[in-house]
Amino acid sequence: MDYSKEIILACEAGIKVLDTIKDYTKRMASTENDVMHTIYVDNRLDVLPHIQSQVASIAAMLYGKEPDSE
């Protein structure tokens, strides 16, 4: 099966997640408030599984395999 379209969509979704991680990292570096720093750390970790699943799905499709739904 040709996964080209799905690979492109997954890459675009992954870029958005990476931008979110980058944004939280910038906020962590900029804030002077300990509570907000903790919130940004937690939020950044919350999105980590999303990029991990995107990369795993892209890798599977690059090998011509169906991505896992987990």
pLDDT tens profile 12-59: 999 999 999 999 999 999 999 999 999 999 999 999 999 999 999 999
Check: pTM over 0.85? Answer yes or no: yes
CA distance 63 to 22: 29
CA distance 35 to 50: 24
Two structure tokens written together for 36:
């907000």
Q: Where are the domains of the chain?
A: 4-62
Q: Which of 27, 23, 15 is nearest to 51 (CA)?
A: 15
CA distance 42 to 23: 13
- Residue 69: pLDDT band (50, 70, 90) is confident
